[in-house]
Structure 1
Amino acid sequence: MLLLIDVGNTNIVFGVYKEDKLIYDWRIATDKNKTSDEYGLLFEQIFKYHGICPKDVEDVIISSVVPTLMYTLSAMSIKYFNKEPLVVGPGIKTGMNIKYDNPKEVGADRIVNAVAAYEKYGGPIIIVDFGTAITFCVVSKEGDYLGGTIAPGIKISSEALFQRTAKLPKVELIKPDTVIAKNTVNSIQSGLIYGYVGLVDYIIEKIIEEMKDRGNIKAVIGTGGFANLIATESKYINKVEKLLTLEGLNIIYKRNK
């Protein structure tokens, strides 16, 4: 089995592939203060609950946008799975040409998503990842990573609104029935959900406009924790792939091993 771990600012998503098929996937909160032993015991408990033996893990691959946790999880992999992990970063073979001014600046999750999306749908393609930040990534027809856009995530905006105002409450991030709301909670939900739909669709429109001489966009893919929330209202997102990052990690692993 292959253990795949993607570390985000809010959540760690991980799963196991067996014979090139994802058999389990999980999501836990990212905690920068946890030690390698704490993560190791947590992984062991989750594995045990699902009847998986840690000794069956033949290899580990990790991508992370939280540098402080990279050493922690690498140490966890060595101690609890007896495997030196493959880490997505400079020098790893992705099969994708990165057309960024400084390729080292591109988050590992953005590259992994781009690899999986291009493998699945071809190009040109747009990937929108709804995580702590919302990232827009563009891959050309030839499979080059062209760059993209980064915006604050919907949860960040929700928390900022609560923290920076005296009377506005923290709300659940769900879509209200109408844009014109009749109470404060629904008003905030309307502004957040429909406001972000507008943000997402406008940026996608601008990307499509800039890409018009490079071929028709084959797909606009939404991924990440809040993908379904926005995609149902978006004019342009036509695919939702919640586990795109794990698929990309599996592809990159095969290209390196």
Structure 2
Amino acid sequence: MNIVVDSGNTYSKVGWFEREKLIRYTTRLEFPELIKNIRAELPANILYSSVSRPVEEFEKALDLPVRIFHLSPEMPLPITKNYDTPQTLGADRIAAAAGANSLFPNEDLVVIDMGTCITYDLIDHNAVFQGGLISPGVRMRFKAMHSFTQRLPMVEPEAGPPLIGKSTRHAMQSGVMNGVLAEMEGIIERYRHKSPALRVVLCGGDSAFFESSLKPPIFAVPELVLIGLNRILTYNVSLQ
């Protein structure tokens, strides 16, 4: 069994894999809970990916005789990066790309990851990560309107608001949710001009708001980042 850890600034997500199959996963773990969950079932290998806590601290806290791999910009990958600044490329972006390529090999793909920011990344049929774009996420847009104005309220996202809002709150809902949908449709269409057979893979916490509104074929894979981390892990284990 392998374990992959996607550790953010506050919480971590852990996935347990038997080879390529995701057995289970746990989210919103604080660091002590993360260590406790891993200790409960000793894996053969661990891939640790973190934006905040160094791998040395994780290894010291875990203190187990298990191989720990650390996702860094220098780590060998099952895909190739065609990116001018690979040192700045986010781990979630490359993991989602590796996950999409493992699920849909030999295809041109655009991966849309809807988290704090929305990223649109192109992986071609030769398994080359070509880059993409980064846009403000859904909650970031609501927070910006609330923070940068004196009278606009803080609004939570809702799926499928009417295009024409009849109140300030509904107008904000429409502006963000329908605006993001229009953005996604437009960017997908531009990518498809470059590759008519393009497959769209959607992931991230806010993807559920939009997956039924986008024109098919759209493939929603909520745990794509964990799948990609496991693909990177198995690739590196095979190099040992």
Bucket of the pairwise TM-score, normalised by the shorter protein: 0.7 to 0.9
Partners of 1:129 and 1:11 in 2: CA distance: 18
Q: Which amino acid aligns with 2:180?
A: Y
- Work out which of the residue numbers 191, 216, 224 in structure 1 matches 2:197: 216
Q: What is the SS of the residue equivalent to 2:16? A: strand
| 1:161-180 correspondence to structure 2 within 5 Å | 161-180=145-164
Change (3 A) 1:42 1:53: closer
CA distance in 2, matches of 1:94, 1:105: 16
Out of 172-181 and 189-198, give the one that drifted further.
Answer: 172-181
Does the aligned pair in 2 maintain the 1:221–1:237 contact within 8 Å?
Answer: no
- How many residue pairs were aligned? 235
Correspondent of 2:88 among 98, 105, 113:
105
The corresponding residue for 1:59 is 45
CA distance in 1, matches of 2:3, 2:156: 33
Task: Report the RMSD for the aligned CA atoms in angstroms.
Answer: 2.3
**Among 80, 98, 105, which residue is 2:62 paired with?**
80
In structure 2, what is the Cα distance between the partners aligned to 1:12 and 1:130?
Answer: 17
Contact 1:128 1:223 in 2 (8 A): yes
What TM-score results when the alignment is normalised by the length of structure 2?
Answer: 0.87
TM-score calculated relative to the size of structure 1: 0.82
Is there any run of 5+ residues in structure 2 with no aligned partner, and where?
A: none
Matches within 5 A, 1:185-224: 185-209=169-193, 211-212=194-195, 216-217=197-198, 219-224=199-204
Distance in 2 (CA, whole Å) between partners of 1:201 and 1:151 is 14
- Would you say the 8 A contact 1:231–1:237 is kept in 2? no
Question: After superposition, what is the alpha-carbon deviation per residue over 1:73-131, rounded to whole angstroms, capped at 9, x for unaligned?
Answer: 54234322524631112332212111112322221211111111111112111100001
Structure 2 CA distance for aligned equivalents of residues 89 and 61 of structure 1: 10
Distance (Å, rounded) in 2 between the aligned partners of 1:53 and 1:9: 22
Q: Does residue 229 of structure 1 match 2:209?
A: yes
Report deviation, 1:177.
Answer: 4.2
Identity of paired residues, percent? 26
Q: Is 2:225 the partner of 1:245?
A: yes
Secondary structure in 2 matching 1:134:
strand
In the aligned structure 2, how far is the partner of 1:185 from the partner of 1:203?
27
- 1:115 partnered with 2:98: yes
Q: Where do 5+ consecutive residues of structure 1 fail to align?
A: 30-37
Give distance in 2, aligned partners of 1:154 and 1:194.
11
